[in-house]
Amino acid sequence: MDRHGQHDIDVAGLRIAITGGTSGLGLALVREWNARGASVAFVARTPERVEQVARELRGVTGIVGDVASKLDIHPIALQVLGALGGLDVLVNNASSLGPVPLALLADTECEAVEDALATNLLGPFRLTKALLGALRASAAEHRGGVVLNISSDAAITPYPGWGAYGASKAALHHLSAIWNAELDGEGISVLSPDPGDMDTPLHALAVPDADRSTLRLPEASAHELTLAIVAALGERMRVRQAEVR
C-alpha cells in the first residue's frame, strides 16, 4: 500500500481495449497504457490511421471497426479477445457529435440523432455486453473487471446546440450507473467520468473558434482516467481482502 492506504496497482500485463484509439483522448489513453506495460488493443474506423498508430506504438494491436455498427461489434470483440487472450479493462471512448456543425434540436435531422445514439450509447452497450463474459472471468480471477465509459458535462448541463450529443451522453451516464449497480456483486466496476473540455479533433469540430489555450491536453485527461481505473482496481482488491478476512 502507499502512504494513503491505497494499493499500488501494477498495470503491466493488464489487458485493456480502447475504442476511438487513433486520435484525441483515445490515442492518449493508448499511449499511456502502452507506456505502463499493459497489453493494449485499440479500435478505430480508418484502416490507415489504425495501421499508423500500430506502427508507432510497438506491441499494441489495432482493430478496424465501427462501434456504431451492430454488425461490427462481435468481430471487434472476437479480435480483442484473440489479441489479448482475455480482457481486464474496457474503455468506451469513441464518440460522435451528431450534427456537424452543431445545431439546435429543431434544426437537427433525425439521422444525426441516430448517429449520436449509435456511437455514444448503443456502441458502448453492445461492446460491453459482447465482452462481459471476459470481464466477469477477469473479476473472478482477481485480475480486473473495469468498464470506463467516457461521459461529458453535456450529459448533465443542457447546452443549446449540443442536444444530440448531450442526450446520448446523458443516457450513457445513466446506463453506466445502472450497470455498475447490477455488476457490483460480480466484482465489476462501471465508471462514467467527464474528462473535461480537451484540445481534440472532436472539440475542434464542435467549437472551431475555441481558444485552444483554455482547453485541457488529452494526455492530462488520459492520465487522470488511468488513475481512476487503477483506483477502481485497488478498491476491488480491498473488498476481496476484507471478504477473505
Residues assigned a catalytic role: 165
Closest CA to 128 of 84, 175, 95: 175
Q: Is the dihedral of CA 217, 219, 222, 227 positive or negative?
A: negative
Q: Cα–Cα distance between 188 and 186 in angstroms, integer?
A: 6
* Distance, first Cα to last Cα, the chain: 17
Strand partners, 16: 40, 89
Query: Strands of 15-19's sheet, edge to edge?
Result: 61-64, 39-44, 15-19, 89-92, 146-149, 189-191
**Main-chain dihedrals φ then ψ at residue 93, nearest 5 degrees:** -110, -30
- Between β-strands 15-19 and 146-149, what pairing exists: parallel, antiparallel or unpaired? unpaired
Closest CA to 80 of 17, 146, 30, 144: 17
What phi, psi does 45 have (nearest 5°)?
A: -85, -30
| Residue 199 identity | D
Helices (H), the chain: 24-35, 47-56, 70-84, 110-117, 123-140, 163-183, 201-206, 218-244
